[in-house]
Structure 1
């Protein structure tokens, strides 16, 4: 199912890959705040979970995930959109996506983009997912959470290797979320240098918005498509915040079920491999 093509001319094209709950939406807000960037919100994730050919549906939402299906979101549609040259005033095309959307076939990813990664400690990621489930009073046994996310860090690390070996992009830049929120200016400067774009202080702050105010592509599907998810805990911090905020204090950590602790333990080796390759502050 390979969909490669020659690199389009025009803007600098960048993809940022992550696991869930990794400050990636805040990173997209930072890129959007530049004023010269078109942002594409999780197009491959939308194909996988909401498109007509998607392999899974998200079942832990407060409604049946099939209600969010959008027939438009095929991989061919997304790759045609990402390959478009109809962005004459934009210097950068920036795709924020989660690696879950390509876990069955890395070759669906559009060529011609510079790949980058943002990571977050599994304890913080899985704690955040668990808290979100508890707040929505769904998946009390956490079965869906575990089934869907258990191997997500390993998939991210595998795709990193794929970018190195199959796409021949050397060592793709990796940002750790804690480093970013602790020292945003330093990390953003280094990220911009690594991806071939100019740093601007505009990336440090942005306005609080509602989901309807975001001028992002691919927000007509998934979590943005319905009021009950668009205004949910999953997006509220990134949309209401005006910067990267602060890293959560794990000395005040909530007690997690043993099954979630096992997920964290399982994910740590892959996370640590990527962490050791990160851009250092």
Structure 2
């Protein structure tokens, strides 16, 4: 499938913003950071000169911009966009997914938002999006594991680039630290990405973990089956 419109769907705290930072470093894509969730939270998002208030209109504008240049959209899955005006999303562009072990995701999310609801972790919405993409295209979408980025960023990103049909640019695997305008709405969530200069492991530790906190434990066991659905897809892709 040839398209200039590329999506990456990840749960919050899945290293998706670090991946977006690499895409910014490439310089060959127009990059959008969480425009669908911006509509949910703020009621609007901005695409060029347009202020957009619906997921369908957002998608149409992204498609228009992708007619003459490459567009990369990173979005999180704590919200259900498919039933709130985004039912056409799986049919537009190329969709890829990034997963991270919920043992890492859940305490990190809870540390940022102690009032979180379990469903906000987002694995269920992520799997539903992936299944809808499969149904729409007849092809299992590419699933990237965050842990692979940490173990071997060069090979993992090269494999991603081969799959989506863009050049692999090794120079984009490192960058200058700093906040980026594209993620300013949620900058407090992206301090690790802003401090980073490459794909590196976080040294953060958390008082509440899936082993020490009953709520996080229950949340982990709720999301674990969804995570393993996509992890199986990721492992199948690697084997291929």
TM-score between both structures, scaled by the size of structure 2: 0.83
The alpha-carbon deviation at position 110 of structure 1 amounts to 7.0
Segments of structure 2 that go 5 or more residues without pairing to the other structure are 45-50
The alpha-carbon deviation at position 169 of structure 1 amounts to 4.6
Q: Note if 1:280 corresponds to 2:235.
A: no
Instruction: Find the counterpart in structure 2 of residue 156 from structure 1.
Output: 126
Within-5 A mapping of 1:138-177: 139=114, 142=115, 145-149=116-120, 152-165=122-135, 167-177=136-146
Q: Is the 8 A contact 1:118 1:175 kept in 2?
A: yes
Within-5 A mapping of 1:72-87: 72-85=52-65
Instruction: Find the counterpart in structure 2 of residue 235 from structure 1.
Output: 190
Greater relative contact order (CA < 8 Å, ≥ 6 in sequence): 1
Q: Is the 8 A contact 2:37 2:76 kept in 1?
A: yes
The alpha-carbon deviation at position 248 of structure 1 amounts to 5.6
Q: Kindly tell me: are residues 81 and 262 of structure 1, through their superposed partners in 2, closer, same or farther at Cα, counting changes over 3 Å?
A: same
Within-5 A mapping of 1:1-281: 12-51=4-43, 72-85=52-65, 88=68, 90=69, 92-99=70-77, 100-105=79-84, 106-109=86-89, 111-133=91-113, 139=114, 142=115, 145-149=116-120, 152-165=122-135, 167-212=136-181, 216=182, 224-225=184-185, 230=187, 232=188, 234-246=189-201, 254-256=207-209, 257-278=213-234, 279-280=237-238
Q: Secondary structure at the match of 1:40?
A: strand
The alpha-carbon deviation at position 103 of structure 1 amounts to 5.0
In structure 1, distance between residues paired with 2:66 and 2:7: 18
The alpha-carbon deviation at position 247 of structure 1 amounts to 5.7
Q: Is the 8 A contact 2:4 2:67 kept in 1?
A: no
Q: Is the 8 A contact 1:22 1:119 kept in 2?
A: yes
Q: Is the 8 A contact 2:4 2:66 kept in 1?
A: no
TM-score between both structures, scaled by the size of structure 1: 0.72
CA-to-aligned-CA distance 1:138-189 (integer Å, 9 cap, x gap): x4xx4xx125425x21221121111011x21501110011111111111101
Q: Secondary structure at the match of 2:168?
A: coil
